[in-house]
Every structure is written in structure tokens, then in C-alpha cells.
Structure 1
């Protein structure tokens, strides 16, 4: 009951309030007067007919897919690596992963800002010293959407891989050794062993990590906002950035809420398939 009350206050009430606001003309004046006008689906119509909606949606989907694919791929590789190295090396790797995962998001973003700072950043200095790609002195990594997305992508992958790797390793370490021994006796090689023994046992963990990463990366906000503010020229604006800017920069809380509601519905659709597979896997 205490947990249910805490969730109700911190999660369900704001969610319900957001849905209600999405059907209202809720502007800056409503914050002070408390008076709102019901406009039905006008906020949703305005959002769906906005010329920015399709580009922002496609940008969000592409960014999310690229992140999840990279995180899952690197996580699987590190999980397999941890089963093959010595206990001492594995302990060091675990400490590194846990430390990386434990660093607060804002702290990591500020470190990233320093690394990629145009005038004094370590990355520009190192690339310039190598001399392979020319002079990168004063190079602005947030000057183009592609480069801005690239540095944010690297940051999010670096932050997210530890959770995926440690979770998948926990599942992989529980696979009974007799299955692998039987497969080897039947002549299975390393790739066949991984495909037909390891991956089937890892399916529940794979689905779980994939669902969580889809939710987290689809809603990625802090890294994008602190590093790029959705720029340049809106080139790194995703649904979460668009919702925030609409609500708090334009003071249109009704339409900002509508964007957030649509984002939540899309997430529900995206994760429904994997959730169903996870439930079926649990039943099996």
C-alpha cells in the first residue's frame, strides 16, 4: 500500500493530469487563474497537422532504433566476453561497468560537453594531434545535426551498455553447463553453440532489456537537451524535446501534453509485441 500510494502521487496523478490537459487550452494564464477551456481534440489535430510532426517522429524512431541495436549488440558481446575471461579480469570489468552506470546522467553530460568543447575539448586536441583527419581546432560538434546526434548517440550508448551487459551476463551465467557440453559432444562449434544454446536461454533477458531500452531511449531527453537544445535548426529535436519546447518555451501546455500522450501511446504500441513475447516466454 505505501508503494501504491507513492506511485499514485508521483506517477499516476501526473499522467492523468497530462491527459486532461491535452484536451484543454492550457496556457500561461491558466497557471495563475486556474481557468481552462475544453477544446476537445484540437490540440491533437494541431499536432498531427504540424509540418514538423513527421520529421520529428521519423527522427525519434531512427535515433531510438540505432541506439537499441547498438546497446543490445555491445551488451551481448560484453556478456559473452565476461564468460570467457578470468575471474580477476571479470571483476575489474564489472567494477568499470557499474561505475559507468552509477554516474548521474547530468554529470556524464557535463563531462561530454567538456570533452567535445570546440576550443578546449580533449577530443578536438587528440584528433588534431593524430593528423589523420586534419586540423580539428575549434571544430563545433553541435554545428550539424549529424555530428550533434553522433556525440549524443555515443554518450547514451556509453551510459546504457553497462545495464544491458550485466543483465545479460547474469542470465548467461545461469545456463546449465550440461547443455553446452551436450552440444559440443554433438559437434557444435562456437557459433552454433551460441546460436542454439545460449541465445534461446537468454530470450527472457533479451526481451526485458529490449523493452526497457526502447522505453528509455524513445524518451531520451536530458542528453539531447543539455548538449544540443534540439538544434541546430531543430535538427536534433525528438518527440520529448518537441513536447518540452512546446509546453515550456511556447507556454502551450495543452499541445505539449498532447504530444506527450501520443508519445506514450506510441511507446505502448512499440513495446506491446515484446511484452507479449516476454510473457509467453515466462509461461514456457
Structure 2
């Protein structure tokens, strides 16, 4: 009997060495580190300075070199017991909620309109929105102040032509009309961002899904409620959150309207109240305490969205 020849396995190529788990885990941290350092440098120092100043008596004398006096939580206690501070907080929160929701509703309607009209009309709308969004705030406020001017404003002239005796009426004197005008200005300046963001989300909805829903008998309202809104809900959530944060911190529009004829004490929001306490009255310690409270309110507004993100990640 002849012995069988041994079977020789063909040579196999060695697998390339894989990077260790520790090395792979360090790469994301190394990529994120420069951004974290920049954020700490750009935001950490101002926030830290505000926290320290809010615990001190920091006035005009400290601006000229006198050391500040450490007062602890006295600034916060004085704010909590001040009825004017609570009026500003309530006014700011209500103003923020109304402006943010109106902005999202109007922006959503414009986005739906752009999604339904032809290409030429859609292009005109998009250009108009971009121009309104790109206009500088001071230039925009100059136009709006001229529109509501009580002596030669366009609004009073139009109302007079319509039969309403409005010549000489100052819309900025009354706190209610002042805040309505400020809200209209802020909504007008914020709608382009919301409309273009929601329109970008609408363009990602498949036409086959909408066509299938129409074939199944769903009317326009049902398609909007059960298909469009759930699909664009993430975009609606983030733009609403951003509007709440931005409208809570609004300053320039309200300040310029106050200088045009409004009364600061009755129309102050958190931003202008901080400015009036710090730069106006020279009480930077109390102004820093209000700024810290404003930061806490911003965190509380953002907390529900952060929680939803954490639930999605888990």
C-alpha cells in the first residue's frame, strides 16, 4: 500500500493588525478637545465673571480701581424680594412664549406655501425671506421706528386714510402697544429662519408617501396631521427651542424702541433690565445676579429638549 501524500494547506494572508480599543477611544476625544477648549475660553470666563460679580457689591467705584465688597447672596435676596424683578420675569417669559409660538406658526405656514407654489413664486418668496433675514438689526429698527412714529409715521397715516383718527397717537407710550410692536418686529425678523428650516424638512418627505395617502382617501388636513407634522416634528422642536432662547434674550429691538419713545420701567424685558441696572445705574453686582437668573431660565427652557435627546440616544 502506498502512503497518502500529506495535504498542505495553502498559505493564508495574515490579517492586518487592528488598532487597540484604547487608541480608537482616544480619537474622538482628541478631535473634540480643541472645540471644548475654545468654548471654555469664549464662554467660561464671561460666565465665571458674572457669577463672581453677582456675589459682590460692584459699582462705579470698582470701575475706577476700588476693590469690590463681597456680599454673598444679598444681591439675589434683594432681587427675589423685589416686585419689579418679578414683573420683568413674568413679562419676559410671556413675551418669549407668544413670540416664539407665533414665529413657528407663521414660518410653518410660509413653508407649506413654498412647498405648494410654482418654482418662480417660490424663488421670489425665498429671496424676500433671505433679504429680510440678512438686513442688519439697526437698519431694520430704523425702518420700523419710522413706520410707527407718532408725528410722521406711515401707520398713523394709513389709519387716518382708513377713517381712524390716529394722527399724533404715540404707539410706544402704552406698554401693551409697545410690546405688541416689539413682538411684531421680532416675529418679522425671525420668520425667515423658521420658514426656510421647515421648508427644507418638507422637501425630504417622499412624494410616494403623500400619493399613497391620497389614494387611501386621506384629505389635505389628514395628510398634514398624520404624515407631514410627525415627519417634520424634530425640525419644529429645534426651531421652537431656538426661538424660545433667542426671544428670552432679546435686547436690541426693545432698547431701540425705548429710545424712540417708550418708557423703560414699564416695558423692560430681562435684557434691557440688566442693561439698565448695570450700565444705567452702575450696579453691576445686581445686574450680574439678574444675568445668572436669566441663564437659569434659559437652561430650564432647554431642559425638556435635552431630556428628549437623551431618551432617543438611550
TM-score, normalised via structure 1 length: 0.94
**Partner Cα separation in structure 2 for residue 46 and residue 87 of structure 1:** 58
1:135 to 165, 186, 204: 165
Residue 240 of structure 1 deviates from its aligned partner by 1.5
**Partner Cα separation in structure 2 for residue 167 and residue 12 of structure 1:** 30
**Partner Cα separation in structure 2 for residue 90 and residue 16 of structure 1:** 47
Is 1:238 equivalent to 2:269 in the alignment? yes
**Partner Cα separation in structure 1 for residue 64 and residue 35 of structure 2:** 32
Is 1:204 equivalent to 2:219 in the alignment? no
Residue in structure 2 matched with residue 12 of structure 1 by the alignment: 44
Q: Does the 8 A contact of 1:71 with 1:164 survive in 2?
A: yes
- 1:135-154 correspondence to structure 2 within 5 Å: 135-154=165-184
Relative distance call for 1:231 and 1:126 in structure 2 (3 A) is closer
Residue 34 of structure 1 deviates from its aligned partner by 5.1
TM-score, normalised via structure 2 length: 0.85
Residue 124 of structure 1 deviates from its aligned partner by 1.0
Map Cα deviations across residues 33-92 of structure 1 (whole Å, 9 max, x no partner). 151121111111011111202211111111111101110110110111111000110000
Residue in structure 1 matched with residue 252 of structure 2 by the alignment: 222
**Partner Cα separation in structure 2 for residue 278 and residue 80 of structure 1:** 26
Map Cα deviations across residues 84-135 of structure 1 (whole Å, 9 max, x no partner). 000110000000000000001111111111111111111111111111xx22
Q: What residue ranges of structure 1 are gaps of 5+ in the alignment?
A: none
**Partner Cα separation in structure 1 for residue 257 and residue 243 of structure 2:** 21
Residue in structure 2 matched with residue 270 of structure 1 by the alignment: 301
Is 1:29 equivalent to 2:71 in the alignment? no
Is 1:252 equivalent to 2:283 in the alignment? yes
Q: What residue ranges of structure 2 are gaps of 5+ in the alignment?
A: 1-32
SS of the residue 2:82 aligns to? coil
1:55 to 81, 84, 87: 87
Q: Does the 8 A contact of 1:100 with 1:162 survive in 2?
A: yes
Residue in structure 2 matched with residue 123 of structure 1 by the alignment: 155
**Partner Cα separation in structure 2 for residue 164 and residue 146 of structure 1:** 26
Is 1:40 equivalent to 2:72 in the alignment? yes
**Partner Cα separation in structure 2 for residue 278 and residue 184 of structure 1:** 33
Count of equivalent residues: 281
Q: Does the 8 A contact of 2:258 with 2:264 survive in 1?
A: no
SS of the residue 2:306 aligns to? helix
